[in-house]
Amino acid sequence: MIAFAVVITTALWYSRAENNVYMLKLLSLILWGATIMVFIDHLASYLVEGGEFLEMSPNVLVLGFVMLLRALMLWELALIIKDPKGILHNKKD
């Protein structure tokens, strides 16, 4: 699930790289980090325990969904703090 999100986010960021108003670069980096972390976890458990490399159980899907939500929440928090369009910190002179 996260791998699909990172492919879509990276494509969106790359197509709009010159105008990175919505900080898609940050979201892409967060999702790439999560994808690499999950890959290493799957690879280590496969090498140590054997069995399936890719597991598609309900628990794994829920974990992927929760990780994706956490990444989106972190990205939105960064957007709120940075406020690239100046909506929250609108200075009226």
Per residue in 15-73, pLDDT tens? 887 887 888 999 999 999 999 999 998 899 889 988 788 878 898 889 889 999 999 99
Q: Tell me the C-alpha distance between 87 and 15, whole Å.
A: 25
Residues whose CB falls within 8 Å of the CB of residue 33, separated by 6 or more in sequence, listed in order: none
Between 16 and 85, whose confidence is greater? Answer: 16
* Contact in structure between 22 and 79 (CB atoms under 8 Å): yes
Q: How far apart are CA 45 and CA 23, in angstroms?
A: 34
